[in-house]
Structure 1
Amino acid sequence: MDTRVIGRRIAYWRERRRLTQVEFGRLMNGKSKRWVQALEAGDRQADPRLSVLEDAARVLRVDLLALLADGPAVECVDAVELERIRATLQHHDVITGTDDSDPADPLPVGVLHARVRYGWTSFQASHFASLGRLVPELLIDANRAAARHQGADRLAAYRSLSMTLQLTEAASIKFGAGSLATIAGHRAVTAAERSGDPVIMASACRHLADAMTNDGQPRAAADFALSAAGRLESDLKARGAEGLSTLGMLYLKAAMARAVAAERDDRLAAHDARAVPELLDQAAEHAGELGSDGGNALFTAFGETNVKLYRVAAHVQLSQGADAVAVALDITDDARAALPRERRAHHLADLARAYTQAGQREKAVDTLLDAEAEAKEEVHCRPRTRGLVEDLRLLGVGSAEERLRALAARCGLPG
C-alpha cells in the first residue's frame, strides 16, 4: 500500500466531512493533531495497520475500499451528504421560512445570487461533490436572506432561495433520492411564488414536474407542467430568452412524464404515448422562436439541440432504441459540444441505453466510455447509469467485455 496515497485520501474525506485535524484525532480514539498530520502525510509507518484504516473509515463514514482503492477519489455526492441536505431541509426555520437565531447579517442579495450561480455552474460541469458541501449552507443563507431583507431585496432573496431549492432537487434526482427531490421541489415552487417572478415560477414548476415523475407520479407531473405553461405563457413570452427557455422546458418535462406514464400497463398508456411527440413538437416550436440554442438561459440549456436530446430520451423511455439512435445521429458534434458538460454526458448515457435496446451492446459500451470521458461522475455516481453497466454485464457485450469489466471496476461495482 502507498501510505502517501492513503493519507491523501483520509485528508480528502476528512475535509469533505468538515472535520478539523483536531476533531478527527479525537474521534480516532483521542489521537493528537500531530498524529493526524503524520497519518495524512503517509509518515505513520511503512505499512499502516488495517485496524487504523478501519477506524478511519468508520469515523469518516466511508467504505474501507474508498481509502484503499487506486486512482483519484470519485467526486460523487454520497449518502452522508444527502442526509445532511435532508437534515437542513428539516430545520424549523427552513421549513417555515422564518428567521433563525443566528446574529450574523444576511448575505447581500448580490453575493447570494453569485453563490447560487456557482452552485448551478458546478452542477452543469458535473462537479457534484462540491454540492454536498455547498447546498446545505446555501439553503440556510438563502432562507435567512428571504426572512430578513425587505422590499426588492426580499424578492431577490426569494428568487435565490427558489433556485437553491431547485438545485437541491436536481442533485437529489441525479443520485436517486426521489422523495428528497419532491420535498425540495414543492418548497422551490412556494419560494418562486413569493418572488413574484414568472421566470422563476416556471423554472420551479419544471423542476417539480421532474421530481414528481421520478417519484412515481408521472401523470400528475405532466398535468402540473402543462397547467404552469398555460398559466404563465404570456408573461414568459414577454421575458425573452429566459422566458421562452423555461416555457419550452415545461413542455419537455411534460413529454418525459407522459413517456414514463406510457410504460404503465393500464388503459391510459396508449394516450400517454401519443401525447409525447405532440409535446416535444410544442417545445421545438418555442426553441424555434428563440432563433438559436438559447445560450443556457437560467441553466436550462434549452434550444433546438436540447429538444433533440429529449427526443432521444423519450424514445429510450418508450423502449424505441433504434428510433432514439436515429435522432441522435442527426445531432452534429458542434451542436452537442455547445451544451453544458453534464448535459452532454447525460445524453451519452441515454444513447448507450438506446444502443442496448437496439441490440448494439458493444456500441453501448463505447458510448458509456465516451460519457465517462465527458464526465466520469455521470457514469460512476448516477444510479441509473451504473444500473446500465450492470445490465450490460449480464447481457454480454462480445468483444467489449474487457472494456466493460474495466469500466465496472472504475464504477466500484463488485466483480
Structure 2
Amino acid sequence: MDEVPIGRRVAYWRGRRNMSQQVFADRLGKSKSWVDKVERGVRRLDKYSVLHEIADVLRVDVQLLLGKDPQRRTDALNCIDQVEVEAIRSALERYEALPAFFAPFAEVPPLDDVRKSVRHAWLTLQYARYGVLTRALPKLLCDAQAVDAAYRGGDDAAQEAAHLLGQVYQIASSTLRKLGEHELAWLAADRSMAVSQRSGDLLLAGVATCRVGNALLALGRPRSALEINVNFASQLAPNGCRAASPQQLSVYGMLLLQGAMAAARIGDSASVRDLFFGAEEAAGLLGADQNHYWTSFGPTNLRLHQAAAAVELGEGGRAVETDREIPRDRFNALPPERRAHHLLDLARGYAQIGDMEQAGTTLLRGDQLAPSEIRCRPIAHELMSDVLRRTRGAPAQPIAELAEHMGVGI
C-alpha cells in the first residue's frame, strides 16, 4: 500500500466511512473542491496537523494515511482500532479451509479448547467488551477455521467443528457491524450462513440469517434485510402438528424482530405491526426471556425492539412510552449489551422529541452500564454531536466529559 498516493488513501477511508465529499469537507471545515483536489492528488498534504485532522475525522491511525503500519492507540482499551480491523480482515481472507486447493493448517487446536473460547467470546460480546473481543477474534477465527478444516466427513465432530466456526463468524459479524465495519460484517455473516449448512443445524442457519439481515440493514439495504429474515422465519414458524422447542421459538422470534426493524427502516408500519404480533406470540409461548443461541429472546427483548422500531419510524415519544412499560427487574436481567443498546435507542428517542437533557442523561446511563456500546459506536458519536449542538448553553459537566472520552468535539 506504500505506493498508493495519499489522496487515494484518503478517498478510500472516506468511502469506508460512507461519507460524501461534502460531508467530509464540512467536518474538516474545508470546501468540497479542496477535498476533491486532495483525493485527485492536485493538492498536496504536507502539513502534519492537517493529516491528523483528516485521520481524526476518518477515525483511522494517521500512519495508515501515510502508507505505514498503524501504531496501536494507547486510548483504544474499549474500542477497535485499525490494527484489529486489518487482523480480522486477514483472518477472513484466509482460504486454507478449502483443503482440496490449499495446504492444511500447520496447527490444529483441540476441539474442546475452541469450544471454550467460543463460549467466552459470546459472553464478551454480550458484555459489550469490544476492545477485548476484537483483539481475540483474529486468533479465534484462525483456530475455528483450522478445526473445521481438520474435521471433515459428516460425523459428529465435523458437524460440531462447522457449528463452532459458524458461531465465530456470527460473533465477528455482530462486533464489526457495531463498530461501523459494515462490509466486513456482511462478509462474516455470509460465511456463517454457508458454514451453518454443513453443521446440520437449521437454527444456527436461522441466527446466521439474522446477522446477514443486520449487515444488509447497516449497508442501507432494508428491503433485502426484510425479505431474508421473513423468508427464513417462515421455515421455522410453529405449527399445530407439534410443539416448537424453546430454541426454535427463540430463533423464530428473533428473525421476526429483525424483520420488523428492517420494515421500520423502510417506513412500513403495517409490516412492523404484523411482525411484532408474530414475535409476541412466540415470546408468549416461550414465557420468559431466555438466551438460546445467544439471542436473549423473550418478552422483554421484544419490548426493546418495539422501542427501537419506534425510533426508526421517527416516533420518539412512543419509544419513551414503551420504555416506561418495561418491568425494571426483567430489564436488569438482560445482558449488558442489550440494556446499553436499548439506552442508546432511547436516547435517540428523546432527541427526536427535543428533550436533549434526557438524551444526554440516557447516554450517560448507557456508558455506566457498558462503556464500549456508547463510546465505540458511530451512531452514538452522531447522537452525542447532536446533543451538544442542540443543547442551549454549555452541556452538563458529566455529558461534556463523556463527549471528550468519545472524541466528540463540543
Q: TM-score, normalising length from structure 2?
A: 0.78
Q: Residue 185 of structure 2 contacts residue 215 of structure 2 at CA under 8 Å; is this kept in 1?
A: yes
Contact 2:95 2:102 in 1 (8 A): no
Change (3 A) 1:146 1:289: same
User: Are the counterparts in 2 of residues 74 and 377 from structure 1 also a CA contact under 8 Å?
Assistant: no
Shift of 1:99: 6.1
The structure in which a higher percent of residues are helix is: 1
CA 1:241–1:141 in structure 2 vs 1: closer, same or farther (change >3 Å)?
same
Matched, 1:254 2:254: no
User: Is the Cα contact below 8 Å between 1:94 and 1:139 reproduced in 2?
Assistant: no
CA contact (8 A) 2:225 2:259 kept: yes
Structure 2 CA distance for partners of 1:60 and 1:183, relative to 1, 3 Å: closer
Give the aligned partner of residue 211 of structure 1: 215
Distance in structure 2 (CA, Å) of the matches to 1:403 and 1:240: 46
1:78 equivalent to 2:75? Answer no
Whether the aligned pair in 1 keeps the contact of 2:238 and 2:249 (CA below 8 Å) is no
* Partner residue, 1:318: 313
TM-score normalised to structure 1 length: 0.77
Once the two structures are superposed, residues 191-214 of structure 1 have per-residue CA deviations (whole angstroms, 9 ceiling, x without a partner) of 001111111111111111111111
> Shift in Å at residue 229 of structure 1?
1.1
User: Do residues 154 (structure 1) and 124 (structure 2) align?
Assistant: no
* Equivalent-residue separation in structure 1 for 2:210 and 2:263 (angstroms): 14
CA offset at residue 238 of structure 1? 5.9
1:131-170 → structure 2 map (5 Å cutoff)? 131-150=133-152, 151-170=155-174
Specify the alignment match of 1:61 in structure 2: 70
Corresponding residue of 1:8 = none
| Alignment match, 1:267 | none
Q: Could you say which residue in structure 1 is the equivalent of 2:10? A: none
1:133 Cα offset (Å): 2.1
Structure 2 letter corresponding to 1:282 = G
Give distance in 1, aligned partners of 2:371 and 2:249.
31
| Cα deviation 1:343-401 (Å, max 9, x = unaligned) | 11111011011011111111111111100110111111111111100111111156744
Contact 2:97 2:149 in 1 (8 A): no
Q: What residue is the counterpart of 2:341 in the other structure?
A: 346
Task: Specify the SS of the correspondent of 1:92.
Answer: coil
- The residue aligned with 1:225 is 229
2:279 corresponds to: 283
Aligned counterparts of 1:182 and 1:154: Cα–Cα separation in 2: 25
Is contact 1:345–1:374 with CA below 8 Å preserved after alignment?
Answer: yes
CA distance in 2, matches of 1:75, 1:312: 27
Q: Within 2, Cα distance between the matches of 1:340 and 1:95? A: 36
Which residue of 83, 87, 90 corresponds with 1:87? 90
| CA displacement, residues 36-69 of structure 1 (integer Å, 9 cap, x when unaligned) | xxxxxxxxxxxxxxxxxxxx99698348xx54x7
1:235-265 deviation per Cα after TM superposition (whole angstroms, max 9, x unaligned): 9x86622221111000001000111122xxx
How much has 1:298 moved relative to structure 2?
1.5
Name the counterpart of 1:299.
294
Aligned residues: 342
Q: Distance in 2 between matches of 1:128 and 1:181?
A: 14
Structure 2 counterpart of 1:201: 205
- In structure 2, what residue type is equivalent to 1:407? L
Cα pair 2:98 2:149 within 8 Å, conserved: no
Q: Distance in 1 between matches of 2:274 and 2:71?
A: 46
Shift of residue 328, structure 1, vs aligned partner: 0.4
Q: Is the 8 A contact 1:100 1:144 kept in 2?
A: no
Which AA in structure 2 matches 1:61?
P
Please, what is the CA RMSD of the aligned residues? 2.3
